[in-house]
Each structure stands twice: as structure tokens, then as C-alpha cells.
Amino acid sequence: MRVNSPSSKIAIVTGAGSGIGRAAALALLGDGYRVALAGRRPQPLEETVALSGASDRALAVATDVADEQSVAHLFKTCVQHFGGLDVVFNNAGCGAPGVLFEDLTLDQWQGVVNVNLTGVFLCIREAFRVMKAKNPPGGRIINNGSISAYAPRPNSSPYTATKHGVSGLTRAAALDGRKYNIAVGQIDIGNADTHMTDRMSDGVLQANGALAVEPRMDVHIVGQSVLYMANLPLEANVLFHTVMATKMPFVGRG
């Protein structure tokens, strides 16, 4: 059951030039959505558009989610080009170098906060402004959290702290969005096979100080999970959804 047919639904995906964002954009476009693809670099966005074969249903919009005016331009462009907005996937994110906590610089910390936390806030705020103005009001926002929103890896304090912050934004926005019929949820992803997890094939640092190779899963599985959440009727919401490589070291001790 859907609120309306996929071909009439419009989405924004941030960080759509690669990895999880690209997989989610391709899944939505493959289901008939019209999608504004956002990212800092135009070329990877255009590559996603070409891969989709979706022609005029895909629109690349160069965007820096940490910049207020850039986010406003993204949403305005989407609404003007497609005529509305139904779904937002806040996926854009980054990490800091995996250095010792005491060696982190303020610039490294702030750079992650600006993208992972402030960027999500700016996109949620703009989505609220657009979705509450619809007749009738409503829409869906999906935030990319992380398994790091529950358990940290060594030397990951900026990324872990911001992903905990995303969980707080998800809960607060889900509550504040009720009066506008805006459903807000979060997808927490563990070890999707993207360039960001390539290092896991060679072994990554574990909590006990050992290096271990970690299993990964096909990133297209994540795209299908986002599509499932996006296609729910607005009377239902997945507040938190975890999709992960089955054998990755998350559940248990080690």
C-alpha cells in the first residue's frame, strides 16, 4: 500500500554521487521516482544519472549540505523542477582521520560536525518548510545514522558523536513532524561494500587492539532498504532500521 504511485513521488538524496547514496538513488529511480541527486562534486552525480538510465527523472544538483544557502538552493531547485517533494534521504557524511583522541584537531572535529550533524539539521529544517506547505501537508525523511550511533570503533570520536547526534535529531524531528504528517526515521548501516569500507578487506582495528578482516554486504541491499522505508504509507513509520553484514563484529563482545 502506498500513498501514491511511485511514478508521482519525488525524492532528494544527498551524497548521491557514490556508495550508499548512489545505491539509494538508483533504487528510487528504478522504482519510478523523480530524484534530485545532491553532492559536492557534479561529475559523480552525473555518473549516477547516467547509470540510472532515468533521463529527465534524475536531476543533479551540486550541493554542500554544510552550507545553509546551498541546502536552500537544493530544495528550491527540486520543487521548481519536479513540482514538489515527498521523500528526503539525508545520506551525506564524512569521517575524520583515525588518529588518537588527543591528537584530533578542532578543524578535524568541526569538519565532521558540519557535514554529519549540521548538514542533517539543515536538510530536515528545509524539508519541514517544504512538506508542511503542501496541500495536504506531509512527507517522509530518512536519516543515515550508522551502527556507530550505538557502538563506537576505536579512534572515531567525531564520527561516533555526530551519529549519536543524528539519532537525537531523528527522534526530535519525528515528534515535531507529527503535526505536519511528516514521518522521520533512521537507517543504521553496518559494513556496506563501498569505497569507505575497502580497508576492511585488509583488517581494521578492533576494540581489543587486534586487527581483523570484517565481512561486508552488497550496497544494493541498503538501497532496497531505503526504498522500503520510502514506500511506506505515511500512517506508518520505521523509526530505526538496522541493516548490516550478518557476521560483522557488532552483536557480542570482542
With beta carbons less than 8 A apart as the criterion, state whether 169 and 212 touch. Answer: no
The per-type count for the chain, helices as H runs and strands as E runs, is 7, 9
Active site residue 159: yes
Among 33, 150, 159, 228, the active-site one is 159
242, exposed or middle or buried, with CB in 10 Å at 0-12, 13-18, 19+?
Answer: middle
Beta bridge partners of residue 140, listed in sequence order:
87, 183
Residue 250: name the closest of 190, 188, 165, 201 by CA. 190
DSSP sequence for 109-167:
HHHHHIIIIIHHHHHHHHHHHHHHTSSS--EEEEEE--GGGTSPPTT-HHHHHHHHHHH
Supply the Cα-derived Rg of the chain in whole angstroms: 18
The secondary structure of 152-220 as a DSSP string is PPTT-HHHHHHHHHHHHHHHHHHHHTGGGTEEEEEEEEE-BSSGGGGGGGT-EE-TTS-EE----B-HH
Cα–Cα distance measured from residue 194 to residue 40, given in angstroms and rounded to the nearest whole number? 18
HSE-CB at 180 with a 13 A cutoff on CA atoms is: 23
In this structure, the number of other CB atoms found within 10 A of the CB of residue 166 comes to 25
Q: Which residues are catalytic?
A: 159
